[in-house]
Amino acid sequence: MKFIKNIYLTYWFFILLSSIAFIFVLAFVFPFLFFIAQITLGIFVALMLVEIILLFSFKSPISAHRKLHNPMSLGDENKIKIVLSNHYNFQIRVVVYENVPYQLQMRDLKFAFFIMPNQSKQIDYTVTPTDRGIYEFGDIYTFSSVFLHLVQRKFPVKAKIKVTVHPSILQMKKMELKVFAKTAMSGIKKIRRLGHNNEFEQIKNYVQGDDFRTINWKATSRRNELMVNQYQDERAQNVYSIIDKSRAMRMPFKELTLLDYAINSTLAFSNIVLRKGDKAGLITFADKFGAKLAAERNSNQLQKIMQLLYHQKTKFLEANFELLYHNIRNHIKGRSLIMLYTNIETESALKRVLPYLKRINQKHVLVVIFFENTEVEKKIHSKPKNIREIYLKTFAEKFQMDKKRVALELRKNGIQTILTKPNNLTLNTINKYLELKSRGVV
């Protein structure tokens, strides 16, 4: 019969059955126990049959549906809810096996609980995706039992759904809240804009209603009549995020690559740029020129940036900074703020790319963003126990010093620099942008 495929025996079944079998064995020594064993076996079989009849008395005894955000956010804890309803007229115990995407590597995710008759139960758990792409959640499998829980009924609930994992939307919203909150929040520097929020346009004759504070006294004395400065609204500046996709960005940190951190940061940063009234653009490169999105300020620009970031993958070759320089010269005409996400490990690596960075910085405001190696920092603060660990600590200190020398050399050449830990990347990038904007650099 078809329903037999959905009957599963529990460990309680085997415990009781083993106990009855033991009584039958003892009956060979003590014959009076044989009658007791027969009665016990009969009761056992009767209870099992009653449980089977009750469990299969409903065609659709359990319903369930899954609640989640689509798309999910890369590298963040995404909340998932399963609402499960009991349609039996009696209390049951349910074991729920959640069928999560293979990318999450959660092979034993299950929940067990009791549900009252005609009641619902909500299951909450979180997942942290570490790769962008399509994730498929499968059906939900339930195993219900009653009374002594000798048998279980397997009942699969159709709940297949495909979701996409995009760059961190949660981080973007969190940073937006921090930047535009009326009170200062942790990490964000509240910097007052110096001077006017408008750009000077021309000097004109005073007319009734003009602001007295805009009177130009030098022009007034020359013309012997009141002259005022006229301002126009400040024009939006071009701000480009340029992401290095070479093998240097393949380095992992807390299950994400440096490229993933750069992508998450770019989305949150671009949102702040657009909210501040500037134009946001995007460029990616490695050994070849990658995606390019011209800096704009229209309503769907952030969506375009998100879609481009979603498809970016690490290349396994060296970055071609000469090609980057030529493409910037050809594609970015006006003076712009360029946030370059890369990872310069040594001074020799800097020497190869510094001439091109200096040329870019001559025509634009260049900010080079690269990463501290947190594993090296752990080794520096550890206590060596033998000669090998002393050598490792010495090399770690030298490596950290090389990073600081790279940052110092960039600053000496007039290039804005951010040396940051991956988990502080977004915060430090936004703070640098706000600082440059307050100083009138952009």
Structure tokens at 242: 């340029």
Specify whether 203 is located in the same domain as 351.
no
Supply the mean pLDDT for the chain.
88
Output the domain CATH number for residue 317.
Answer: 3.40.50.410
Specify whether 226 is located in the same domain as 276.
no
Exposure string (b/e) for 117-141, b if CB count within 10 Å is 16 or more? eeeebebeeebebbebeebebbebb
Of the ranges 117-121, 294-298, 394-398, which one carries the lowest mean pLDDT score? 394-398
Specify whether 76 is located in the same domain as 28.
yes
> What does the alpha-carbon distance between residue 10 and residue 28 come to, in Å, rounded to a whole number?
29
DSSP states of 21-67: HHHHHHHTTSTHHHHHHHHHHHHHHHHHHHHHHHHTS-SS-EEEEEE
> What does the alpha-carbon distance between residue 47 and residue 108 come to, in Å, rounded to a whole number?
31
pLDDT per position as a tens digit, 325-376:
999 999 898 889 999 999 998 889 999 999 999 999 999 999 999 998 877 7
DSSP single-letter state for residue 172 = H
- Asked whether 98 and 111 are in contact (CB, 8 A), the reply is yes
- pLDDT greater than 90 at residue 192: no
Specify whether 250 is located in the same domain as 219.
no
In which region does residue 297 sit, left (phi positive, over 0), alpha (psi from -120 to 50) or beta (all else)?
alpha
- Asked whether 103 and 133 are in contact (CB, 8 A), the reply is yes
Structure tokens at 8: 């599963």
Specify whether 430 is located in the same domain as 295.
yes
The total number of structural domains that make up the chain: 3
Please give the pLDDT value at position 145. 94
Specify whether 261 is located in the same domain as 408.
yes
Percent helix, strand, coil in the chain (nearest 5)? 40, 30, 30
Specify whether 215 is located in the same domain as 184.
no
> What does the alpha-carbon distance between residue 364 and residue 197 come to, in Å, rounded to a whole number?
21
- Asked whether 163 and 137 are in contact (CB, 8 A), the reply is yes
- Could you tell me which residue, 110 or 377, shows the higher pLDDT? 110
Structure tokens at 100: 């999560």
- pLDDT greater than 80 at residue 237: yes
Residues 13-29, mean pLDDT to the nearest whole number: 89
Specify whether 186 is located in the same domain as 281.
yes
Q: Kindly report the pTM of this predicted structure.
A: 0.81
Terminal alpha carbon distance of the chain: 76
Specify whether 80 is located in the same domain as 188.
no
> What does the alpha-carbon distance between residue 410 and residue 90 come to, in Å, rounded to a whole number?
72
pLDDT per position as a tens digit, 131-154:
999 999 999 999 999 988 899 999
Percent of the chain with pLDDT over 90: 58
Specify whether 121 is located in the same domain as 17.
yes
Q: Where does the pLDDT of residue 195 fall: very low under 50, low under 70, confident under 90, or very high at 90 and above?
A: very low
* Cβ contacts of 272 within 8 Å, gap of 6 or more: 175, 176, 179, 430, 433
- Count how many residues are written for the chain: 442
pLDDT per position as a tens digit, 259-270:
999 999 999 999
Specify whether 149 is located in the same domain as 258.
no
Give the long-range contacts of residues 63-69, CB within 8 A, separation 24 or more. 63/87, 63/157, 64/96, 64/140, 64/142, 64/157, 64/159, 65/159, 66/137, 66/140, 66/159, 66/161, 68/137, 68/161, 68/163
Please give the pLDDT value at position 187. 65
Specify whether 298 is located in the same domain as 430.
yes
Please give the pLDDT value at position 234. 54
- pLDDT greater than 70 at residue 184: no
Q: Please identify, among 233, 259, 284, the residue that sits at the C-terminal boundary of a domain.
A: 233
* Cβ contacts of 200 within 8 Å, gap of 6 or more: 229, 230, 231
Please give the pLDDT value at position 219. 86
Please give the pLDDT value at position 235. 64
> What does the alpha-carbon distance between residue 123 and residue 84 come to, in Å, rounded to a whole number?
8
Q: Where does the pLDDT of residue 189 fall: very low under 50, low under 70, confident under 90, or very high at 90 and above?
A: low
Number of H helices, E strands in the chain: 11, 21
Residue 340 domain boundaries: 169-192+235-438
Please give the pLDDT value at position 299. 86
Exposure of 25 by Cβ count < 10 A (0-12 exposed, 13-18 middle, 19+ buried)?
exposed
- Asked whether 122 and 66 are in contact (CB, 8 A), the reply is no
Please give the pLDDT value at position 196. 47
* Cβ contacts of 201 within 8 Å, gap of 6 or more: 230, 231, 232
Please give the pLDDT value at position 442. 65
Please give the pLDDT value at position 205. 85
Please give the pLDDT value at position 8. 86
Output the domain CATH number for residue 33.
Answer: 2.60.40.10
